[in-house]
Structure 1
């Protein structure tokens, strides 16, 4: 009987693991100081698969994560996190996803991810970079080039 219970438990565990094996979670820290300088998301870029999750962690206070207008696939729900709160986003559509920290946007605090091939809105995302504040434009231009 005990062997049957243990075998059933092992099978249920294997099914649960197999059900989530394709999706990954990326943790992104919101920092006052990081490897790229002041007011950064770290890492600043990612290449993801549809179904992956991005978890923005407010390592330092005073940050949020929200959608950058124009850098978001059509049909994907926009995001606007609260200051100092963790934000979890499941990327459900292929394309380019851009995030900013609203209080530090002018200082260039941005994160960009390519999901799948990134093509559905790549041209729109690149055009949106051109309208960003100077420091954000500089960082996003380099980050966008890194994920192409």
Structure 2
């Protein structure tokens, strides 16, 4: 009887702890990085549903604001000079930008599972890129990783 109770308790604990395996990813908001001026590092990220992304302020005057998110999850709008943590609640492609540095194409892409909103995300990337004054190839390069 004791063995059955322990086994049941162990299985229950394992089932309840699956959320404990969600990863936290760090994306740095920087004035300068490997991909040039005004960047998120990394600019492209692959994650799993339920993971979180913490946007960390390295240099001042940045934020993170979603531009396209999959259906069934919430958009976000981080405050200027503040870190923000976002939970990736659905499969798909997330596109985000830094509001004051969008003209410099300071933007990024997160892919979670299947890219179910590929066309929506591609349109967002094209719009951001068309309105950018510089670094036009940066965001399209990140998006080219979405398969």
Contact kept in structure 2, 1:64 and 1:81, CA below 8 Å: yes
**The one of 87, 90, 94 aligned to 2:87:** 90
Deviation at 1:60, TM superposition (A): 0.7
Q: Which runs of 5+ in 2 are unaligned?
A: 1-9
Q: Are 1:80 and 2:77 matched, yes or no?
A: yes
Alpha-carbon spacing, 1:140–1:74, altered in 2? closer, same or farther (3 Å): same
SS in 2 for 1:28: strand
Partner of 2:123: 127
Q: 1:101 to 1:124 in 2, by over 3 A?
A: same
* Equivalent pair of 1:26/1:55 in contact (CA under 8 Å): yes
In structure 1, distance between residues paired with 2:106 and 2:46: 18
TM-score, length of structure 1 as denominator length: 0.81
Distance 2:120 2:76 in 1: 18
Corresponding residue for residue 3 of structure 2: none
When structure 1 is superposed on structure 2, of 122-131 and 108-117 the one drifting more is 122-131
Where does the alignment leave 5 or more consecutive residues of structure 1 unmatched? 1-10
Partners of 1:62 and 1:84 within 8 A in 2 = yes
More helix by share: 1
Q: Which residue of 1 aligns with 2:139?
A: 140
Task: Quote the Cα distance in structure 1 between the aligned partners of 2:136 and 2:66.
Answer: 15
5 Å matches for 1:1-148? 18-68=17-67, 71-118=68-115, 120-132=116-128, 133-134=131-132, 135=134, 137-148=136-147
How many residue pairs get aligned? The number is 132
Question: How far apart are 1:19 and its partner, in Å?
Answer: 3.9
Of 126-135 and 46-55, the range deviating more from structure 2: 126-135
Q: Could you tell me the TM-score, scaled by structure 2's length?
A: 0.82
